[in-house]
Amino acid sequence: MNIRATVWMRRAIIGVAAVSSPLFSRFAAAKEPAKAFERPKLAVVVVFDQFRSDYLTRWRDLYGTDGLRRLMHDGAWFQNCHYPYATTVTAAGHASIHTGCSPNTHGIVGNSWYDRGMKRSITSVYSPLHRRVPARGSRASAAPIRLLAPTLADALKTATGGKARVVSLSFKDRSAVLPGGKKPDACYWFDASTGEFVTSTYYQADPHPWVREFNASRAVDRWFGKTWDRLRGDVKYERFSGPDNVANEWTGYGQGRTFPHPMGKPARKPGRQYYDAMMNSPFGNELLLELVKRAVVAEKLGSRDVPDLLCVSFSSNDLVGHAWGPDSQEVMDTTLRTDLIVRDLLAFLDKQVGKGRYVLAMTADHGVCPMPEISRMKGKDARRYDLRRIRRDVEKQLRAAIPSKKPLVEAVSGVDVYLNQRELKSRGVESRRAERLLAGFLKKQPGILTAYTRTQLMGRIPETDKLGRQVQRSFFPARSGDVTVVVKPYCLLGWRDTGTTHGSPHEYDTHVPLLFFGAGIPAGIHKQAVTPLAVATVLARRLGIKPPAKANAGIPAGLFPAEKRPAGR
Ligand SMILES: [Zn+2]
């Protein structure tokens, strides 16, 4: 065992003792009075899209000491962090992390939902009023117009009279737009049709010079024609994950099921397929990290008299996870490379902003369901169910109960089913009756664990119905369906027969890492139940500002044990 590992073990033991024994914490507090810490110059929120809590421990022995393990050793590590709501998807996750509240408050119920007025599905950041920047065609672009709660970024802007600088970057539009709040100074995401980072006219008319230069450098094309192979030639991946070739893995964008994965071939020059493949490989994260470094330098983040905020969301983990599944060698390899991303980011911030002068939170927007084929090998009743067939079947049953020539199911979006309210009205059928019938039929469908009606979700759900409470926290009346279904554990509802997904209230989707690190964060391991919504409140506390107005997550008990609250508050 090396010295570092011994120190780590001792820290872990102290960490556990400090939270489990009041005697010990009193002793520790007496011996080490609360140290004054410098107000951080910069807060950083790092999200890895689709990163399950067990990834931290599953491959820990393969991580270096300066990346994820540095956060685990020197930071506050919350090992029992779960999303409190049911629809565990990217947009809901990012909105919740940054506002400190659930979708029933901030309104971002999914990546997209059915808009009854427009009679179609819209994304969480879709804005018909804004265009892509730099300009290209007349397609609508993205803006935070559907986010109904302020983010940490908004709270910081308010507290500093607009002086704090906010930068939000990701590959996905929703993962940059939602964290950035109403008035970020820079908000960029990736356009896979051109390989450029873009923003929208909601933010500004022209890209920042540092983004223009980055796009012009074509750093994005660096991996074209190369292959993605395993990072560690000295490690037998199969021992730590599973076999490389598993039935029902997806083949990506001409990438195949097994290593090495070609990048962009057989095209002669970089184009759509290559940019998609790049995002669907760990290289997407590497590219984003380069842009992040440029942003910190160009915007001089962490160098002035008020603190700044940097929001980064790395998307490639999610795409790789969807394609090959959490037990694949591809996800293992992407996670080992994620460790290097964290190492490089921390080393860069140490140099650029200064050790102990920034505070950082690391979490994920959701976990992921194992591939049903893998779960079945472990004896679980895991299957893929065709959502289109289920829709056809319940429509038939519903029309047998309520005679109608027109469809009674108007739309299905994710786990939400929307009834044709107009038709019900013209037939004189009460909506709540149709809801009840529909939920009853849905509950009997294969692959569906249970279903909740709008009427139920608008009312009181007993505390004993944990699942119902989770579904209720994902429910927003003007956007959610009339019936919401919950998929059976380890099963997938969809129409694809490859890869896997997330979005359920089950443990594998809700359990994510939560780590705080840096200025004013005592090292320790915490076992109590917390949610990622704590990111907004904890960082606000460290920045010395009020939390975002609708945040309802408290400061986790035991995080700041030595801090005395001023009397009378
Ligand atoms: Zn995803």
Question: For the residues of 503-553, what is the DSSP string, one character each?
Answer: -SSSHHHHB--EEEEETT---EEE-S-B-TTHHHHHHHHHHTSPPPTT--P
What Å distances lie between residue 177 and 147, 151, 189, 190, 313, CA to CA?
A: 10, 11, 8, 12, 11
Predicted confidence at residue 565, as pLDDT, reads 52
Cα(494) to centroid of ligand 1, in Å?
13
Cα(303) to centroid of ligand 1, in Å?
35
Predicted confidence at residue 561, as pLDDT, reads 77
Predicted confidence at residue 527, as pLDDT, reads 97
Residues lining ion ligand 1 (Cβ < 5 A) are 318
Cα(86) to centroid of ligand 1, in Å?
15
Got the DSSP string for 256-268?
-SSSSEESSTT-S
Cα(396) to centroid of ligand 1, in Å?
31
| Distance in angstroms (rounded) separating the CA atoms of residues 67 and 171 | 22
Cα(43) to centroid of ligand 1, in Å?
26
Cα(318) to centroid of ligand 1, in Å?
5
Cα(267) to centroid of ligand 1, in Å?
27
Mean pLDDT per 10-residue segment, the chain (569 residues): 40 38 38 63 98 98 98 98 98 98 98 97 97 92 98 98 98 98 98 97 98 98 97 96 91 94 92 97 98 98 97 98 97 98 98 97 98 95 93 96 96 96 96 98 96 98 97 98 98 89 98 97 97 98 97 94 53
Cα(501) to centroid of ligand 1, in Å?
6
Cα(368) to centroid of ligand 1, in Å?
8
Cα(255) to centroid of ligand 1, in Å?
19
Cα(11) to centroid of ligand 1, in Å?
34
Cα(61) to centroid of ligand 1, in Å?
27
Cα(82) to centroid of ligand 1, in Å?
17
**Rg over CA atoms, the chain:** 24
Cα dihedral across residues 359, 146, 280, 272: positive or negative? negative
| Distance in angstroms (rounded) separating the CA atoms of residues 369 and 379 | 15
Question: Which residues in 192-241 belong to E strands, given as ranges?
Answer: 196-200, 227-228
315 neighbors 175 (Cβ within 8 angstroms): yes
| Distance in angstroms (rounded) separating the CA atoms of residues 545 and 153 | 11
Predicted confidence at residue 247, as pLDDT, reads 86
Predicted confidence at residue 38, as pLDDT, reads 79
Predicted confidence at residue 86, as pLDDT, reads 98
What Å distances lie between residue 514 and 134, 188, 560, CA to CA?
A: 36, 25, 15
Cα(306) to centroid of ligand 1, in Å?
35
Cα(48) to centroid of ligand 1, in Å?
11
Task: Give residue for tokens 């820290």.
Answer: 11
Cα(352) to centroid of ligand 1, in Å?
32
- Residue 519's Cβ-side half-sphere holds a number of Cα atoms within 13 Å equal to 26
What Å distances lie between residue 431 and 119, 141, 412, 434, 461, CA to CA?
A: 18, 35, 17, 5, 20
Cα(142) to centroid of ligand 1, in Å?
19
What Å distances lie between residue 467 and 81, 214, 307, 378, CA to CA?
A: 17, 46, 39, 25
Cβ partners under 8 Å of residue 114, min gap 6: 120, 121, 410, 411, 412, 413, 416, 418, 481
Cα(521) to centroid of ligand 1, in Å?
30
Cα(282) to centroid of ligand 1, in Å?
15
Cα(111) to centroid of ligand 1, in Å?
9
50 neighbors 439 (Cβ within 8 angstroms): no
Cα(317) to centroid of ligand 1, in Å?
9
